Amino acid sequence: MKPLRKIIFPAAGMGTRFLPATKASPKEMLTIVDKPLIQYGVEEALAADMEQIIMITGRGKRAIEDHFDISAELEANLKKAGKKALYKKVSSVARMAEVIYVRQKEALGLGHAVLCARNWIFDEPFGVSLADELIVGDVPAMQQLRAVYNQTKCSVIGLIQVPEDQVSKYGIVAYQAEENGLLRLTDMVEKPNTEDAPSRLAIIGRYIFTPRLMELLRDVQPGKGGEIQLTDAISALAKEEPVYGVLLDGQRFDAGNPEGFLKANAILGLQHKKFGEALRQELIKHL
Ligand code: G1P
């Protein structure tokens, strides 16, 4: 197997859960404390030694490209004004990763978005990361997946436990615990009703796949919601070769909707070295 060095960020979604904020700007650019969501995702991927980012974008997503591009005028102004720390922050974003942009021309589903990157993946293993699922912790989520991938050389999916009344929002897995402590996934269902959910372990937007997944995706027919579902391709993959699940450590926020976004900003704001104390004092006044 070739080395794992590529990661796909599906970022073409319309962000309907966050309207009107996402009417004219991408949900991936929503700011958590002082950085857009997508930058958290890219930094997490780089921490897991990913080298090439394949961003799947669409109409109205140009701000993502600009964010990871060099802004010559801004850099020159910051330099001239002697704002060294800011200059460093701004210039490092533009140089942190090799990013390739691929347009998903029609909103046909997450599986279809991933399939749009096929010509950049060829026969290599690859990661997939959904930036609106913000996961922060001591060991970055993608690194937790890579550790299991390095051990098994099989596909690995990030999981969290969710309450029973939440299963219909996620891909839910069926699994068997192996003697070595790994969870082998035997099947998965996209957004099941409570009574059809095989467990309460939910797929949480971090994946590593063998190249076979891309071939299987080509044959996936529209599923839940009439969309080409990534979960259906993983289900087919799990019938051919081992697919493992990792229960992720870390704080996780569904930052693609207002409630999760507010929680992420409040909690990460409180934990922030520079702003945390002032925020805490202000919030206390309102409790
Ligand atoms: C997607 C996946 C789903 C997964 C979820 C995690 O759904 O299809 O399996 O559980 O992301 O956020 P979406 O929320 O994009 O509809």
- The preferred substitution site among 203, 229, 243 for testing ligand 1, maximizing ligand atoms within 8 Å of CB, is 203
Does 130 sit in the ligand 1 pocket, CB within 6 Å? Answer: yes
Look at residue 92 in the predicted model and tell me its pLDDT.
Answer: 86
Look at residue 39 in the predicted model and tell me its pLDDT.
Answer: 96
CA distance 20 to 24: 8
Ligand 1 center from residue 5 Cα (angstroms): 23
Question: What type of residue sits at position 124?
Answer: E
Closest atom of ligand 1 relative to the 133 alpha carbon: 12
* Strands (DSSP E) found in 92-224: 98-103, 126-129, 133-136, 155-161, 171-177, 183-190, 201-209
How many CB atoms are located within 10 Å of the residue 155 CB? 25
DSSP of 221-244, one letter per residue?
A: PP-GGGS--HHHHHHHHHHHS-EE
Instruction: Give CA angle at 43 (103, 238), nearest 5°.
Output: 65
Ligand 1 center from residue 118 Cα (angstroms): 20
Domain boundaries, the chain: 6-286
Q: What is the CATH number of domain 6-286?
A: 3.90.550.10
CA distance 187 to 198: 8
How many CB atoms are located within 10 Å of the residue 250 CB? 16
Look at residue 17 in the predicted model and tell me its pLDDT.
Answer: 92
**15 vs 30, 60, 78, 122, 149, CA distance in Å?**
11, 11, 33, 29, 31
pTM: 0.95
Does 134 sit in the ligand 1 pocket, CB within 6 Å? Answer: no
**Closest Cα to atom 7 of ligand 1:** 170
The rounded average pLDDT for each run of 10 residues, N- to C-terminus, in the chain (287 residues) is: 96 92 94 96 95 95 93 92 91 88 95 97 96 96 97 97 96 93 94 96 98 97 95 97 96 95 97 96 94
Ligand 1 center from residue 110 Cα (angstroms): 8
Ligand 1 center from residue 204 Cα (angstroms): 7
ω into residue 20 within 30 of 0, thus cis?
Answer: yes
Look at residue 223 in the predicted model and tell me its pLDDT.
Answer: 94
Closest atom of ligand 1 relative to the 229 alpha carbon: 8
Does 230 sit in the ligand 1 pocket, CB within 6 Å? Answer: yes
Does 171 sit in the ligand 1 pocket, CB within 6 Å? Answer: yes
Look at residue 96 in the predicted model and tell me its pLDDT.
Answer: 82
Look at residue 180 in the predicted model and tell me its pLDDT.
Answer: 81
Does 231 sit in the ligand 1 pocket, CB within 6 Å? Answer: yes
Ligand 1 center from residue 285 Cα (angstroms): 37
CA distance 284 to 37: 27
Look at residue 14 in the predicted model and tell me its pLDDT.
Answer: 87
Ligand 1 center from residue 132 Cα (angstroms): 10
